[in-house]
Amino acid sequence: MKLKTDDFFIGRMERDIAERLLNKMLVGTFMVRTSPRNNLNIISVKLKDAVKHFQLLSDERRKLFVAGKEKRKFKTLEDLVKYYRKKSISMQEVSLVILQFVILSLLH
């Protein structure tokens, strides 16, 4: 099954609301949301004891990347999410942070 933006993009959502939703979910559950505060897209993902947020940025060629991970760039949001469903999005965590479950499919 091909993953589409509609499957994981929530739209505008405050950080605290995303955390409340994700804290009730399984580890690895994620969403992509737009921060009303700075209008950036953010990947929010449920960890074992917390929710972690990763800013998504784009370069001058409109290639997307996770802030702090400029070496790995993607043409589309779908490509970025697909990659981080197989590879850890965070190198600083003790455990791997892999995007596993799409929040919208768990809410239905």
Per residue in 55-101, pLDDT tens?
999 999 999 999 988 889 999 999 999 999 888 887 655 455 677 77
CA distances from 13 to 7, 9, 32 (A): 16, 10, 9
Write out the two tokens for 95: 């455990």
SS3 40: coil
Percentage of residues in the chain having pLDDT higher than 90? 55
CA distances from 93 to 3, 31, 61 (A): 26, 19, 30
**Whole-structure pTM value:** 0.83
